[in-house]
Structure 1
């Protein structure tokens, strides 16, 4: 690679790549968003950022209605479908052997060992250890009551 950075050991095969790399040392960010104060050194990063303003999400899941702005986010999403159907549970608790399909489920589980309750109700002082417990609690502040099978509901 004939083009070398004078500030570090980076080398590039093309001068344009070296110029882009040099911006990491100078802090130069020539690409600016017209809608907000976002600036970047790479045009492709600005193009991806612009999707946050347009709402464009070109990467679509072929199983559900999920859409993403980046191919990598869609790949991560697709793992949720694979694990749902395969039963794969790659995330394991070191304390008790509990296994989870998704990292967020393991994080929720870990609170059973620490006693943490990070989810708080914005209508009262209630705190919950999981999102689902908070959602159940939130129904106590509304007219919406969960229907329990086998119970008669008043008209």
Structure 2
């Protein structure tokens, strides 16, 4: 496969997956792309072109996939379901992250309440609850935090909340610091 001038795939373009060849360069930032069509899509980052509008709130997106992901927040759609516990997620990446809860072994037991944890340091943090130190504890996984604000950030992992959205590309994050990191990439 190969790709012609219009971005259509032709017989040799698939080989680039194996060779790593990226012949198409963005004139704005110097990034290289495997396909001309991918370069065209990327260039929307620089031009600010936003073709996809959310019918609910009027926000515009440069990629259809970002608009769809955004739309799921409005309708609370959670099409990705955990086959172990049935919990639903709006994004596949959140489901994958959640599934680690089921995979990790919990071999460390609290001697006071017989809860199990993934490592000894988590048990020790948890035991502060029994000592009356009143730390903030996650009801979902038992992880303990010194500050309630840290617990709130952590809880977003379990519920799939992503309140921070990049205005440039529509990607969403559960922590503002992750959004800032992405925005720094866009600036380059």
TM-score bracket relative to the smaller structure: 0.5 to 0.7
CA offset at residue 43 of structure 1? 0.8
Q: After superposition, what is the alpha-carbon deviation per residue over 1:115-154, rounded to whole angstroms, capped at 9, x for unaligned?
A: x5x47xxxxxxxxx978xxxxxxxxxxxxxxxxxxxxxxx
When Rg is computed on C-alpha atoms for both structures, the one with the higher figure is: 1
Greater relative CO, 1 or 2 (CA 8 Å, sep 6+): 2
Aligned counterparts, 1:85-124, within 5 A: 85=106, 89=118, 92=121, 98=124, 105-106=143-144, 108=145, 111=146, 116=147, 118=148
* Cα distance change, pair 56–14 in 1 and its aligned pair in 2 (3 A): same
TM-score normalised according to structure 1 size? 0.56
- What's the CA shift string for 1:90-124, capped at 9, x where partnerless? 6958xxx9468999825x1xx2xxxx5x47xxxxx
Q: Which runs of 5+ in 1 are unaligned?
A: 120-128, 132-155
> Between Structure 1 and Structure 2, how many residues are aligned?
111
Partner of 2:133: none
**Contact 1:91–1:103 (CA under 8 A) maintained in structure 2:** no
Please list the CA deviations of residues 17-65 of structure 1 after superposition, one character each: whole Å capped at 9, or x if unmatched.
Answer: 1111111112222211011132211111111212122322111111223
**Structure 1 vs Structure 2 CA RMSD:** 3.5
In structure 2, stretches of 5+ residues that fail to align are: 1-21, 109-116, 127-137, 153-188
Q: CA separation in 2, counterparts of 1:3 and 1:13?
A: 6
Change (3 A) 1:34 1:130: closer
Equivalent position of 1:124 in the other structure: none
